[in-house]
């Protein structure tokens, strides 16, 4: 097999990285344990912003802003290449606030606590104070809220479909599914080959790990300094008539959100659970999310509930991913640890990793995304 790069893991991080390398005429092979785009990237909600952006450190903001700038072109390219519409739209986000608390999973030492107004002004992000019914009249509550009109969303399963279709029709890519990478052959500071559970061996000039929550496990001793871990998230999907709700609604105090899709589907999520690699959807989470959804919008009830699922986010300290070359192994790269915002950060992270491999200048300071030595 003749390939320049092997990408291990076909979620949004792997597919966006492969897409970027293909645009630079590299030949790419993606090895995926199951089916591409069926783990966290499929399970996610598709909001293209941190939930409370002012509470995150600058490296999260910079990567988000870079990706937000790239998103319209990224989507347009995919639409032209494949005809698939990932329903990218600036639906805005209404934040029903309680600025005295941070979401429960936040490690306060690593996060910032900022005034939303001052932060938005500094980062040129539009923000208005409104009554919630001005923006979302169907909500049960009418209270003081923050309105972020520029916040966008994408229908992540469609984005993944478009990426897979674009990569497949590029002519320079091979996607190999149902193939788990299990072993590394490393000699004199370089990966020489990798082996799969089926006993096949693959080699290339460079190897890129994009295995999400499983990245550290896959890298074994080569990833022992990484702090990437699985963090389970559960979400409900309701089906209502279109037009019931148009913005994303975030209940800050409960770290709970509703995301309306164009066709009337509404997602309600999500949990943040340390459950190891267990990605079962539980009845406790279902009950809790259903109650919160119903409190916010009465039409979200048992009879409109269409589905419930769970996914494993690649958790990382401060939500800061690693996008870098291995400190000692010259042809081994990682693009993982995007935690709650892997869909948001996908185009920026892929651009940075691609530039690194191709020796091109970076659009921002990449030192915060270093592989810990």
Which tokens belong to 364?
Answer: 């921002």
Residue at token pair 């200048």: 361
The residue within the footprint of ligand FAD, chosen from 336, 349, 350, 371 (CB under 6 A), is: 336
Q: According to the binding rule CB under 6 A, does residue 343 interact with ligand FAD? A: yes
* For ligand FAD, the closer CB: 139 or 343: 343
Smallest separation, CB 63 to ligand FAD (Å): 11
Q: Give the tokens for residue 196.
A: 């799969």
Question: Tokens 């209940």 — which residue?
Answer: 251
The stretch near ligand FAD (CB under 6 A) out of 41-49, 86-94, 96-104, 289-297 is 41-49
> Nearest distance from residue 334's CB to ligand FAD, in Å?
10
Does the footprint of ligand FAD cover residue 314 (CB under 6 A)?
yes
Q: Which stretch binds ligand FAD (CB under 6 A): 42-50, 124-132, 219-227, 284-292?
A: 42-50
| Helical packing angle, 12-23 and 156-168, nearest 10° | 40
Binding residues for ligand FAD restricted to 204-243, rule: CB under 6 A? 210-214, 218, 233, 235
Do 242 and 87 touch, CB atoms closer than 8 A? no
User: Which of 344, 104, 372, 355 minimizes the C-alpha distance to 226?
Assistant: 372
Q: Which two tokens stand for residue 146?
A: 């923050």
Binder of ligand FAD out of 18, 27, 32, 111 (CB under 6 A):
32
The residue within the footprint of ligand FAD, chosen from 5, 26, 27, 45 (CB under 6 A), is 45
Q: Which of 29, 300, 338, 353 binds ligand FAD (CB under 6 A)?
A: 338
Q: Kindly give, in sequence order, each residue whose CB lies less than 8 Å from that of residue 121, ignoring residues fewer than 6 positions away.
A: 127
Count the site residues for ligand FAD by CB under 6 A: 42
Indicate the residue among 73 and 137 with the shorter CB distance to ligand FAD: 73
**Pick from 50, 105, 54, 96: nearest CA to 253:** 96
Does 11 contact ligand FAD by CB under 6 A? yes
> Closest Cα partner for 275 from 311, 329, 318, 250?
311
Query: Which regions of 178-264 does DSSP assign to beta strands (E)?
Result: 181-187, 190-196, 201-202, 206-209, 229-239, 248-251, 256-260
- Residue 105: CB minimum distance to ligand FAD, A: 13
**CA–CA separation, 62 and 57 (whole Å):** 9
Q: Residue numbers of the site for ligand FAD (CB under 6 A)?
A: 8-14, 31-34, 39-41, 43-47, 180-181, 210-214, 218, 233, 235, 269-270, 311, 313-314, 336, 338-344
């Amino acid at each position: 097999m003749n390939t320049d790069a092997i990408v291990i893991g076909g979620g949004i991080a792997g597919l966006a990285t492969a897409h970027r390398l293909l645009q630079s005429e590299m030949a790419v092979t993606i090895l995926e344990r199951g089916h591409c785009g069926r783990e966290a990237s499929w399970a996610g909600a598709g909001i293209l912003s941190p939930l409370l952006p002012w509470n995150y450190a600058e490296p999260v903001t910079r990567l988000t802003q870079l990706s937000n700038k790239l998103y319209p072109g990224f989507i347009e390219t995919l639409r032209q290449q494949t005809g698939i519409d990932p329903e990218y739209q600036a639906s805005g986000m209404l934040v029903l606030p309680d600025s005295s608390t941070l979401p429960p999973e936040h490690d306060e030492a690593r996060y910032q606590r900022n005034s939303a107004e001052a932060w938005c002004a500094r980062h040129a992000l539009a923000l208005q104070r409104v009554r919630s019914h001005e923006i979302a009249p169907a909500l049960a509550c009418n209270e003081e809220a923050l309105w972020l009109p520029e916040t966008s969303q994408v229908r992540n399963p469609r984005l993944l479909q478009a990426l897979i279709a674009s990569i497949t029709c590029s002519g320079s890519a091979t996607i190999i599914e149902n193939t788990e990478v299990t072993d590394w052959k490393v000699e004199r500071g370089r990966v020489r080959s990798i082996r799969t559970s089926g006993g096949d061996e693959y080699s290339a000039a460079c190897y890129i790990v994009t295995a999400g929550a499983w990245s550290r496990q896959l890298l074994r001793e080569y990833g022992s300094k990484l702090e990437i871990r699985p963090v389970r998230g559960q979400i409900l999907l309701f089906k209502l008539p279109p037009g019931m709700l148009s913005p994303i609604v975030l209940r800050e105090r409960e770290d709970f959100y509703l995301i309306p899709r164009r066709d009337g589907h509404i997602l309600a999520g999500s949990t943040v659970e340390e459950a190891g690699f267990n990605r079962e959807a539980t009845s406790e989470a279902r009950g809790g999310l259903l109650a919160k959804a119903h409190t916010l919008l009465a039409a979200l009830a048992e009879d409109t509930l269409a589905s419930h699922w769970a996914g494993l986010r690649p958790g990382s300290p401060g939500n800061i991913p690693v996008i870098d070359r291995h400190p000692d192994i010259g042809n081994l790269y990682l693009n993982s640890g995007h935690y709650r915002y892997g869909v948001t950060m996908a185009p920026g992270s892929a651009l940075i990793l691609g530039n690194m491999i191709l020796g091109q200048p970076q659009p921002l300071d990449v030192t915060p995304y270093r592989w810990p030595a």
